Amino acid sequence: MAEILWTSADIAAATGGRLVGGPFEATGVSIDSRAVDAGDLFVALTGERDGHAFVPGALAAGAAGALASKAVEGPHVLVPDTLKALEAMGVAARDRSRAVRAAVTGSVGKTSVTQAIAAGLAGAGRWHSSVKSYNNHIGVPLTLARMPWATERAVFEIGMNHEGEIAPLSHMVRPEVAVVTTVGPVHIENFPDGEEGVARAKAEIFDGIEPGGVAVLNADNRWFELLSLRARAAGARVVSFGSGEGCDARLLDFSAAHGQASVRAMVHGAAVSYPLLQTGLHWGLNSLCALLALEAMNVDRATALEALGAFAPLAGRGAETTVRIPGGVFTLIDESYNANPISMAAALKTLGARQGRGRRIVALTDMLELGPDGPAFHAALAGPIEAANVDLVFCAGPMMKSLWDALPPTRRGGYAEAAADLAPRVASAAEPGDLVMVKGSNGSRASVIAAALGALDHRGETA
């Protein structure tokens, strides 16, 4: 039988709301009527669409009751504002739990690192984590509100597009461990002072850190000192990961072959070696980041390393698929979930390090939210592409036209204004033995190209 997460009396007490209809008990919390599980509390949020219109459907799908700000049918707790009420539930769930909490942010890698940490927590006791990329003003309180009473450790992803968005979420989570994977030129069109503004916004994660907490920081990042100062000013102890001397976790070597990788590192002065299923070069540092965070959450190293060794690439974030076509197979590397100058350069460097007799092909769509320097950031990818010895480049989107124009004719595979128009051209170009990487921002539809390539073989096997 599912564990009771909230009673209607608990919800009313946490939110200051009033119960209408009979009492109920909820075993989960949902904001999407299409994804309601039996026993859920359905939260009727208002936005582009009014969630109150979906209360009947949610109840019909098995919801135990609703959280509403206007009269609806069925049992519900009536509150003035459902989002504020959800936030109050999140705070109440935090306060009633004794869980050690970690919060993760960063310009690149925050979802993957969050899920890697979650994998380690899963082997160490009762755990809880963000799902998907639930990292904004709705996703964070929702994740908190879903946290069971008896949770021992929990990890939360926190994202932002603008200054001032992380601070209230950090205060909501009140982490004992705060992680910044790295800082780079992401969302910079929203920051007049560019990347430094992004760094200060990421540093807001320390605003809510518990006194005596731990900050896990990337010493290879140019903003390490700024972040360290902010963390220490908030009363946190800083631990670092990187490739230089003096790091608490220092990367010595990362090597990848045949869909697997191995890491050699020094952690607090002791030699550590471990395998990974992640082949991206950036996973050398990502894994050390996760290892330090798990250590700060009192997860023993053996458990952490076992979890990291079994942690597979997330969909759209480096997952590899072997695609059968006439005459043989090619390898699809799906990096289509998101892209920015940092992650694009890292992915190209990883591709260049791959061994194989076939061609290296990339299909790239626009990197978004880069402001007036967007064309220059795109054109600059010609350098990493040359360094990676990429054979053919396919580009889609108005920003990627700048890269297309910067490429030598021998590397030009094809250009289109939209990903959907480029997809069949990439699919027709793939040959047996090729390594084909697809990468771009989620909003520029890189996933359409990845899907078209995957559809060439319905019997494709995940590598």
Q: Is the pLDDT of residue 287 over 50?
A: yes
Please give the Cα distance from 210 to 236 (Å, whole number). 8
What DSSP assignment string belongs to 35-94?
GPPTTEEEE--BSSSBGGGGHHHHHHTT--EEEESS--SSSEEE-S-HHHHHHHHHHHHH
Angle value at C-alpha 459, between 454 and 463, nearest 5 degrees: 70
The token pair that represents 61 in the structure block: 């799908």
* Of 200, 161, 225, 181, residue with least CA distance to 346: 181
Please give the Cα distance from 3 to 143 (Å, whole number). 16
Q: Is the pLDDT of residue 459 over 70?
A: no
Strands 461-462 and 127-129: unpaired
Per-residue pLDDT tens digits for 225-261: 999 999 999 999 999 999 999 999 999 999 988 778 9
Q: Is the pLDDT of residue 463 over 60?
A: no
Q: Is the pLDDT of residue 146 over 90?
A: yes
Q: Is the pLDDT of residue 32 over 70?
A: yes
CA dihedral 143, 214, 312, 202 (to 10 degrees): 70
Q: What is the mean pLDDT of residues 22-39?
A: 96
Please give the Cα distance from 92 to 14 (Å, whole number). 6
Q: Which residues of 313-344 are buried (b: 16+ CB within 10 A; e: fewer)?
A: bbebbbbbbebeeeeebbbbbbbbbbbbbbbb
Q: What is the mean pLDDT of residues 115-135?
A: 94
Give this prediction's pTM. 0.89
* Of 320, 324, 348, residue with least CA distance to 334: 320
Q: What is the pLDDT of residue 460?
A: 39
Per-residue pLDDT tens digits for 180-224: 999 988 887 888 888 999 999 999 999 999 999 999 999 999 999
β partners of residue 234: none
Sorted by where each starts, the structural domains of the chain and their CATH numbers stand as 6-80 (3.40.1390.10), 97-310 (3.40.1190.10), 319-462 (3.90.190.20)
Give the mean pLDDT of the chain: 94
* CA-based end-to-end distance of the chain: 37
Per-residue pLDDT tens digits for 36-47: 999 999 999 998
Q: Which residues of 371-397 are buried (b: 16+ CB within 10 A; e: fewer)?
A: eeebbebbbbbbebbeebebbbbbbbb
Q: What is the pLDDT of residue 283?
A: 95
Q: What is the pLDDT of residue 182?
A: 96
What element of type H or E holds 284? Answer: helix 283-296
Instruction: Tell me which residue has tokens 């001397």.
Output: 245
Q: Is the pLDDT of residue 388 over 80?
A: yes
Q: What is the pLDDT of residue 115?
A: 96
Q: How confident is the model at residue 295 (pLDDT cuts 50, 70, 90)?
A: very high
Per-residue pLDDT tens digits for 55-82: 999 999 999 999 999 999 999 999 999 9
Q: What is the pLDDT of residue 56?
A: 97
Q: What is the pLDDT of residue 199?
A: 96
